[in-house]
Amino acid sequence: MAKFVPRGIIPAMATPTDEWGNINEGALRKLVNHLIDGGVHGLFPVGSQGEFFALTMEQKKKVIEIVIDETRGRVPVYAGTAALTTKEAIETTKMARDLGVDAVSILTPFFTNLSQKEVIGFYLDIARAVPDLPVLLYSNPGRTKVPIAVETVKELAAVDNIVGIKDSSGDMTLTAEYIRVTRDMDFSVLAGRDTLIYATLCYGGTGSITATANVEPRLVVEIYEAFMAGDHRRALEAQYRLAPLRLAFELGTFPVVIKEALNMIGIDAGKAIRPVGPLTEENRARLRQVLQDMGVVKA
């Protein structure tokens, strides 16, 4: 069987919730179709943008079930299965596998300051527990304080079912090194910082797992599709047009900006799960202006 190759634009989906933090199934199904209609190449529920850290196991299960059901095989479904401990990460990964996901992406554990030996052990234990399921590493040291070293990626890339990495470090030199040391292996490097999608593709990356695609999937897909067609000017211009939305993340506490942007375009994502609060009125107006400038909402 051919090895699973993560590629293209894969939105890190927001999780629509009501005012009590319950899953809004109707809005989630609407979001699935909004994204697929926008041309995305996969869906990634229950990641950081999906507020995995604020969801119970039953809520995670419900989100994955709904996304798989609504997707109906039109694109691959990746699931976030991050956890603080190896045991919980394996349990969550097995749950996602049993529901029928195509792959999982697993953030490094957070709070604990792991060594690289421990990082390798964490991913090896999970990969061995689900040998039939493609696994993506997920590096986001700005939030977890646990980096994934280049040599660690190279070692893990040799494992049959470890197929790629989402790199949200924002460090293009590090991304480039991940690509360089694995370029002769069946291993995908995907941008996790939305301002670096075009740059990652230029270096040899295979796509992006991206939060901004929730709001304007067609624009993010344009970066990838234009690049693959050899139209670098159009790909770069699309990257330029996308940048203000990613930079707008500074207007509030992650992950509230994308949820509020979705509300503005007519998808009822609800509020961020507390303790994350809403945007100020001033910053909400600034976000609306960004969306107006992008042509996503009317003035």
Catalytic residue of the set 123, 166, 178, 198 = 166
Residues 6+ apart with CB under 8 A from 104: 78, 79, 80, 81, 93, 96, 97, 130, 133, 134, 135, 136
Catalytic residue of the set 78, 123, 138, 198 = 138
3-class DSSP assignment, residue 182: helix
Residues 6+ apart with CB under 8 A from 219: 238, 241, 242, 294
| Distance between CA atoms of residues 65 and 172, nearest Å | 35
Asked if residues 76 and 102 have their Cβ atoms less than 8 Å apart, the reply is: yes
* Closest of 13, 89, 91, 93 to residue 47, by C-alpha: 13
Q: Is-catalytic flag, 30?
A: no
Asked if residues 245 and 258 have their Cβ atoms less than 8 Å apart, the reply is: no
As a dihedral over the C-alpha atoms of residue 83, residue 157, residue 79, residue 252, rounded to 10 degrees, the angle is 70
- Please give the single-letter amino acid code of residue 274: R
Q: Which two tokens stand for residue 155?
A: 């070692």
Q: Is-catalytic flag, 224?
A: no
Q: Is 209 annotated as a binding residue?
A: yes
- The dihedrals phi and psi of 155, each to the nearest 5 degrees, come to -65, -45
Q: Which two tokens stand for residue 127?
A: 């990969």
Q: Which residues are catalytic?
A: 138, 166
Please enumerate, by residue number, every residue annotated as part of a binding site for pyruvate: 209
